[in-house]
Amino acid sequence: MQYVATRITADGRDGFAVEAGRYRLIAARACPWANRAIIVRRLLGLEDAISMGLTGPTHDQRSWTFDLDPGGVDPVLGYERLQQAYFAFDPDYPRGITVPAFVDETTKALVTNDFAQMTLDMSTEWTAFHRDGAPDLYPEHLRDEMAPVMKRIFTEVNNGVYRCGFAGSQETYEAAYDRLFVALDWLEERLATQRYLMGDSITEADVRLFTTLARFDAVYHGHFKCNRQKLTEMPVLWAYARDLFQTPGFGDTTDFEQIKKHYYVVHSDINPTQIVPKGPDLAGWLTPHHREELGGRPFGDGTAPGPVRAGEEVPAGANPAS
């Protein structure tokens, strides 16, 4: 899929300058790509600068909808469907209506849905509005090393689970399955001796991996047939995922109920009954992970974000910490 590649930058070179209060992040807790943006916004403390609207966990063929809001209408944009922001940008918009998306509150039109660039720009272009103690999620001295790591995570893990789930034949499924678990084995080995993907501190690479791991046992293992092992049966990755989940910004933005509802209801071709599994038991996410024994400083020279913004909390019962 092609994305609208317009960027919001400090110098406004694409026509959209960084400006507090101008842009609204439209996201869905159910979506792994959108979950990344929610995490990064929270870690960097951009809540005052960038407002956030959340869609419901399900959608039809037309669009994500704002059914979590009173009257089913986003209170800032006045829209029932994210599609309306896309059509305000291009009345004949030909591609899928995706989250996350940045919408200009002044025009109520889409600015960009380029999910991979959006989070990097929040780290590099929005620095004037970062909170005191915001971590450097995209350190300049690590970018060359991060690029191939993030590329492999994207192609083999983030997309790899989908390649399994939507395979059209036994042969393509088995090839996708093998590719996925080769990559997960590589990650088990990489993370056995270092706390995070790039060393001692959390970076954008960890955010990108976490949102797939958080969905693995709840969705991908069964729904997408990624069933060589559960995450809970991969000792290093399971400890790493728990370490991140228990870090402010990760677990407190994760909604397992919405995650399950999205996949099992929307993918009716894979799950015709639309029955949503009751499990798995989530209590394990809060068990000790012992990753601190590897050392490291989760936020580098920065600090942890404070409490979740009022009104942005994950609903009670939707994750084990709530």
Q: Given 3, 93, 162, 173, which residue is catalytic? A: 162
Cα atoms found within 13 Å of the Cα of residue 316, Cβ hemisphere only: 0
What residue numbers does the annotated binding site for glutathione cover? 64
Question: What span, in angstroms and rounded, lies between the C-alpha atoms of 261 and 94?
Answer: 27
The binding site consists of: 64
Q: Which residues fall within 8 angstroms of residue 237, CB to CB, at 6 or more apart?
A: 184, 187, 188, 191, 213, 231
Instruction: Report residue 82 as tokens.
Output: 């994210």
DSSP-derived 3-state class of residue 212? helix
Strand partners, 25: 52, 102
Among 31, 138, 226, 264, the active-site one is 31
**Which residues partner with 53 through β-bridges?**
26
Q: In sequence order, which ranges of the chain are alpha helices (DSSP H)?
A: 32-44, 83-89, 115-124, 143-152, 160-165, 170-190, 204-215, 235-245, 256-266
Q: How far is CA 15 from CA 89, 102, 267, in A?
A: 14, 14, 37
Active site annotation includes 23:
no
Catalytic, 31? Answer yes
Which residues are tagged catalytic? Answer: 31, 162
